[in-house]
Each structure stands twice: as structure tokens, then as C-alpha cells.
């Protein structure tokens, strides 16, 4: 068995693969053509978000049984083509949960407190105490999606005495009540929330799920976060809503195109932007590396599939 690691990954993953007697090559920054030319040698491909696993790459991987993603999002991998070919796609849904949740909460706080602008003012020698913040206590946080990250965000928000409402058609209402949040329809999230934060993958159903129509229905003064996936929120519509004053502030960690090409979005003073850092902690990167390496070893040595995201119970 032989594994190709095509993105930079914590050395713990390499150590685990090596200790289990599996051959591996560590080759990063490969073009699609370069990957196509060598992928037939490998039984598994291990990636993060930089490698785009296209249909051509999957078709060229005649021995390929598994693509492992060190992280949650798999929109850089053609899952349908892989399914058609009998190639399992696995992700690591737990390793970076805490990091992404903490990043969301940090941005939530920064939207409410003028930390960035006040700091910039102080650095210029000013003593400007006119910055007025808002408190999170008593405000309504609307979460779209209630997976691992959404649950952790909700628990912290409840501790801050926020009201949390959740739209997730796959979660039973009694499960939400156990945590202390209220189940809501998407319409209620859009119309009643003071803060809105999606926590869903990017797919045909979630792409542009918050766009012109949704912004028009929101409360005046609503604040928007996105630490999930770029494309869930329509960036053009967001900018227009900010110009109209419907949205007073936004915080984005993910973008429709990465790196983002919309400079108006990046330079807007009412939008806090970070370069997709939600899971970029040393702890999270170690966790997902260990998690995916263990899953790859389990699949190749014992034919056990874990955390499959393209509906296959076994590989070809």
C-alpha cells in the first residue's frame, strides 16, 4: 500500500503512516497535470484544502481507494465522481471543532465591541472614548446548521446569556432542548435574529442561501458572521445590505473565491475579515492530522471506512 500526501500536514500524520509500515510520498504544490501523471501509483491520497481533487485526477488514480481530507470541508474534492468510481472520501469532523467555534465566538464579540477601530485610533495617538459597543446579553443568535461547531458556539452563547435559535432540519427538537436552544424555521432565523451565523457545508442546497431576498427580510441593524464556507452568503448581496444600512457589521473568515478577489469586500470598514483561519490553530492541525492518518491506516490495513462523506460503505 502506498499513500500520497499532497498538502502540508502536521508531521504526526506522517509518523503514524510510517509506523504502520505503509509507504508514502510527501509532495506538495503539485499542479493538476503533475498529480494526474503520478496518482496511479497510490492507494490513497491525503489532502487538506489546497489540492483540488478533480474528476481527471480521480479517473487517473486507477489504484486509488481513498481520499482523506484533514479537516471538515470537502468541497475541494469531487465527491460524486469519487462515488461513481468507488473511491471513498473521508473527512475529520471532530479535530478542529473547538478551533472553529472559538473563532466564531471571537468574531461575534468583535462585531459587538469596537476593539479593532479603537485599537487603530489609540495607535495613532488618539484618546477617543466615543466608540459605543453593544452587549450580547439578551440578543438573539440565529444558527443555521447545528453540527459539532454550531453546538459548541451555542453553548458559549448561552453562557453569555444570549437567546439561541437554530435551523437544522436534521436535528430533533428534543436534542436542541437538552442544550437550551430553540428550534426554528429558516424564515424565523432570518427575520428575528440580531446575529446570524451559518454552520453548514457548501453544496447545491446551501450555496447563496443568504442572498438579496433574505437580507431584505432581516432586522435593521443585523450582524452577519461566516466561519463556515464561502458561497453560503452571497457577497455582492451582503455588500449591498451594508450600503443600505440593513446590515451594520459583518465578520468573514471564508469567501466565495479564496484568496478573495472582491477588494470592496475586504476594504469595507464595516466588515471584519480573516484569511480562513477558523481551524488554523496548532492544536487543531495536530488533531486533524492524527485523525485522518489513523483513518487512512484503518482503511488500508483493515478495510474499515470511517467518516465517509460520499455515501460509500467500502471502497473498490
217-232 residues labelled b (16+ CB within 10 A) or e (exposed): ebeeebbbbbbbbbbb
Active-site residue identified among 48, 103, 199, 229: 229
Q: Is 229 a catalytic residue?
A: yes
The phi and psi torsions of 15 (rounded to 5 degrees) equal -60, -45
Q: Comparing C-alpha atoms, which of 28, 69, 32 is closest to residue 47?
A: 69
**258: part of which helix (H) or strand (E)?**
none
Active-site residue identified among 48, 69, 103, 276: 276
Rounded distance, CA 208 to CA 241, Å? 14
Rounded distance, CA 247 to CA 220, Å? 7
Rounded distance, CA 10 to CA 286, Å? 6
Contact yes or no for 139/197 (Cβ under 8 A): no
282-302 and 11-19 helices cross at what angle (nearest 10)?
20
Cα dihedral sign, 197-195-150-95: positive
Q: Comparing C-alpha atoms, which of 53, 50, 42 is closest to residue 90?
A: 53
Active-site residue identified among 258, 264, 283, 304: 258
The catalytic site residues sit at 229, 258, 276
Amino acid at each position: 500500500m502506498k499513500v500520497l500526501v499532497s498538502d502540508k500536514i502536521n508531521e504526526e500524520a506522517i509518523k503514524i503512516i510510517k509506523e504502520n509500515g505503509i509507504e508514502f510520498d510527501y509532495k506538495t504544490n503539485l499542479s493538476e497535470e503533475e498529480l494526474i501523471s503520478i496518482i496511479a501509483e497510490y492507494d490513497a491520497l491525503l489532502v487538506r484544502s489546497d489540492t483540488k481533487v478533480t474528476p481527471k485526477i480521480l479517473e487517473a488514480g486507477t489504484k486509488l481507494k481513498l481520499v482523506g481530507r484533514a479537516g471538515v470541508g470537502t468541497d475541494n474534492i469531487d465527491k460524486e465522481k469519487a462515488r461513481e468510481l468507488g473511491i471513498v472520501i473521508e473527512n475529520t469532523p471532530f479535530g478542529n471543532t473547538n478551533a472553529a467555534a472559538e473563532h466564531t465566538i471571537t468574531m461575534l464579540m468583535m462585531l459587538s465591541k469596537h476593539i479593532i477601530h479603537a485599537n487603530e485610533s489609540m495607535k495613532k495617538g488618539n484618546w477617543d472614548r466615543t466608540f459605543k459597543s453593544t452587549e450580547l446579553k439578551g440578543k438573539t443568535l440565529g444558527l443555521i446548521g447545528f453540527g459539532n461547531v454550531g453546538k459548541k458556539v451555542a453553548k458559549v452563547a448561552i453562557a453569555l446569556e444570549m437567546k439561541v435559535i437554530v435551523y437544522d432540519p436534521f436535528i430533533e427538537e428534543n436534542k436542541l432542548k437538552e442544550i437550551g436552544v430553540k428550534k426554528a424555521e429558516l424564515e424565523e432565523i432570518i427575520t428575528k435574529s440580531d446575529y446570524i451565523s451559518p454552520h453548514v457545508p457548501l453544496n447545491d442546497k446551501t450555496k447563496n442561501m443568504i442572498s438579496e431576498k433574505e437580507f431584505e427580510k432581516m432586522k435593521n441593524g443585523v450582524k452577519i458572521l461566516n466561519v463556515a464556507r464561502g458561497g453560503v452568503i452571497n457577497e455582492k448581496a451582503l455588500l449591498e445590505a451594508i450600503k443600505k444600512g440593513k446590515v451594520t457589521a459583518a465578520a468573514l473568515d471564508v469567501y466565495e473565491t479564496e484568496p478573495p478577489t472582491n477588494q470592496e469586500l475586504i476594504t469595507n470598514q464595516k466588515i471584519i475579515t480573516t484569511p480562513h483561519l477558523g481551524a488554523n490553530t496548532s492544536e487543531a492541525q495536530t488533531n486533524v492530522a492524527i485523525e485522518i492518518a489513523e483513518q487512512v491506516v484503518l482503511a488500508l490495513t483493515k478495510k474499515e471506512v470511517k467518516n465517509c462523506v460520499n455515501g460509500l460503505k467500502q471502497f473498490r
